[in-house]
Structure formats: structure tokens, C-alpha cells
Amino acid sequence: MSGVELWSIADITRRIAAGEVTAAKILTDTIARITERDGELGAYLATDFEGAQTAAALVDAMRSANLPLGPLAGVPIALKDMIVTKGVVTTAGSKILDGWSPPYNATVVERLRAAGAVIVGKVNCDEFGMGSSTENSAYKKTRNPWDATRVPGGSSGGSSAAVAAGLCTASLGTDTGGSIRQPAAFCGVVGLKPTYGRVSRWGIVAFASSLDQVGPIARSVADAALVLQAISGHDPLDSTSLAQPVPQFSESIAAGVTGLKVGLPKEYFAGEIDPEIRAALDNTVAALKEKGAEIIEVSLPHTELALPAYYIVAPAEASSNLARYDGIRYGTRADASDLLDLYCKTRGAGFGPEVKRRIMLGTYALRSGYYDAYYKKAQQIRALIKRDFDAAFETVDVLLTPTTPAPAFAFESKATPLDMYLGDIFTLACNLAGLPGMSVPCGLTKNRLPIGAQLLGKPLDEATLIRTGAVIESALAIGAPP
């Protein structure tokens, strides 16, 4: 990779402001990298180079006129294809939305553009965010930049792969049960899922509305903090958006971890974990101790119930959310002379097998006579999981766990859907409790596959994740893929 592609956000914005480089040059370099690598990698579903060039030209014109530049001025950013973008095809990785060009921008898109970011395109994902490998995309596979025979994770696999390979400086993903953190761990980058409500969900293609959250994926904790800063804040268009002040996240990086109480939930270390991941977490604990953190074992007793509770709540909400995709109102199927026939033929037919599976599960759980036994019970378990976290945070400031039980796996290596679901065992509870979570690279396996350490924080305390993650990053940096 060339120097420009590896520059941090702070480097890019500083150099543009100083006149050392233009936003147009940085974009040209990024486009060249996409052209060179993406045919092999398969990260992008759609590019908007013309729109990006217009945005870069505006940044350069503002700099020439000595006008104030935004905090992300000239920074190339990719968007997961769950994020609605005006005039750019947005499919959520599904054929049922094939060709749909939205007439408006999601709030996070507007905020990125207001900050001066240059949006280069839309990146691949599991269909409607349902998956852990990006193998469920209706369009193509995305490959892991560290090993092209392995998955990049999911559902934000395109977002993580693009960042790791230098096809953008940062990206946005969405996280319903780990879909930012797990692919970030597999691709050796930083993925930050904010507190539920910290970032607007308006204009996000919904999977499970009480769990979904947008967040940044970047090559460093500092970059993730800057992107989070730009997209956070109350949005009156989103009824779940929190009217809370947004701190200067970057300022927390220098705080270090001296005196910080880091909890190790014993339930997260008791199951089957790849020995190399366990060793990497031991190194992470040692690094935090060396920098002055206090390590405390804690218990989250209802952890084992997170997986079954999630796979009731999420499919139930998905069943409701996906009912709107009837083959008439979205996509390019619009023959008004035969709408009834279209409705009958396309309802459900445009969905892939994983989406159909979850719709059926969710519809079953919501049926009359089953609601109390399944959905209501799952919500009660969700409350217990939240209570476990509240109790733990009375003792510690942040929790440290593995992000995944194993490194990136080979394509088509998971025999059953349950095998795939079990890979999310460490990330689901965070969403059920609405907490912030971050995955930070903390090592490599002997086969040079990235390993991620997960940090879980108190509500609205992303700053503590950032300061802790920065220490881990500094001590255990793994570099870029080959």
C-alpha cells in the first residue's frame, strides 16, 4: 500500500488543511486501490466515484478559500449497504431490493457529509444483516484480506474487509448481535458498536429495531473515535435516539488505564475457545496490568441464555420489519398492470434461505398462543441479562472478553445454521442489554489470522472503551494484512 492509503484520519485532515495534499489526490489513490484489489476481494456492491469526486472537489475549494474544514474533510468512507444513500443503489444485500435508488439519505450519511467525508460507495453484507460471514449476500462473496479462502465475518463483512485492505479509510457498519465487532475481529481492524440510541437509526434498513445500531469500523481506535464523534447525537427523526450530550471521544485516548478496573466475566472464558485466542487474551490482560489496570473476575450468570433469547427476539422483530418487502414498493419490479400477480410471485421469493429461516422463526414465536411462551419469555431473559451487566458495573469500569471463540473460518465450513449462530456467543448479550462494545486487534494466530479482544462498557461510556482499546492497540498492534 502507498503512504496515502495508510494515513490515519488525523493525518489526512491535517495534511489537507496544511495544503500538503489535496482531497482529490487522496480519492484518486483510493479509487486506484479499489480498482486494483476489489475484483479479487469483492467488498463493494456499488461505487459512487462521481459523487465522491464532487465531494473531494468541494473540500479542496473550501481549503483554497480558507474556509473552515470539517473533522473528516477529505476522508474516504464506505457505507454498509444497509445504510440508505440518496441516488446510490441500496440493496441490503438482497435481490428483493435490487436496483432500488433511495430518494433520501440516512441521518448518519448527512452527518458524515457535513463533517466533510468523501463517500466512495456501498459495501457488501449478509442479506438484511442476517449472517456472520457475508456468505448470505445475494450478490457475491467478500473475501478476508488476510486469507482469501476465509470469510471476512458478517454481517458487516464488506465494511471490515474494505478497511483492512485499504479500499477506504473507515467505514460504517450495523450491529444487531455482533455484526460490527465480529467482522472487525476477523479482519484485524477496530469495530465499535455504540450504546443503543447514541447514533440515529433513521434511514437504516431495519433488521431488529430494538437491537440494531450503527457504528464505525476503522484501522485504529483514534480513527473510530473521530468517526463516532461525527455521527453521534440526538436525531428527532428517530424515536429511539437519546437526547444526551456527545463527549469529545478522542480526548479520552490519552487517559490511559491506570487505576481502571477491568472485569473478566468467568462465563466468557469457561467454554470452548481456540487456544490461540485464549493466549492472545492472556497477553491482553498482561498488557493492561502493566499499564496500571486492576483485573477483577466477575460473573454474568445468565450469559448462557443470551443465544436462545437473541434468536427469539431478533427473528420476531425481523418478521415484522420485513413484511413491507412485498415486491411492489421497492426494487425495480414495477409493472402496474400486473401488481397482484407480482405480489403473489415475489412475496418471499426474493429472500434468501437465511432470511426466510428467520422470518419463519419470528412469525412462529409471535403467533397467538406462542407469544408468552417464546417472545415474552425471551424479553424477560433480556431483562435478566441487563441486570447482570448492571451488577458487574457496580464493581468494574469495563469488561474484557474474546470477541469470537475462533478466528476467521473457511468458506462453507459451517455445517448447520446453529454452528454459525454459536460463533456469535460472545457478542449477542451486548445488544440485548443495549451496551457499547468494541473489538480491538490483540494478536495473530500462527497462520497469521487476526484475533480480537472485546470491550464492553456502561451505557453511554464509549469513552472508557476508547481509552482501554487505545492501550491494547499500542501494546499489541498487529499491522496490516499482506
Active-site positions? Answer: 80, 155, 179
Burial 103-140 (b: 16+ CB within 10 A, else e): eebbbbbbbbbebbbbbbbbbbbbbbbbbbbbbbbbbe
Length reported for the chain: 482
Query: Which of 252, 260, 251 is CA-nearest to residue 291?
Result: 260
How much is the CA Rg of the chain, to the nearest whole Å?
Answer: 21
Burial 67-91 (b: 16+ CB within 10 A, else e): eebbbbbbbbbbbbbbbbbeebbbb
CA distance 446 to 372: 48
Q: Starting at the edge strand that comes first in sequence, how are the strands of the sheet with 437-444 ordered?
A: 44-47, 118-123, 76-80, 170-175, 213-218, 190-193, 437-444, 450-457, 398-402, 261-265, 294-298
Q: Which residues pair with 77 in a beta bridge?
A: 119, 170
Task: State the cell numbers at 143.
Answer: 473475501
Task: State the cell numbers at 367.
Answer: 403467533
CA distance 432 to 271: 20
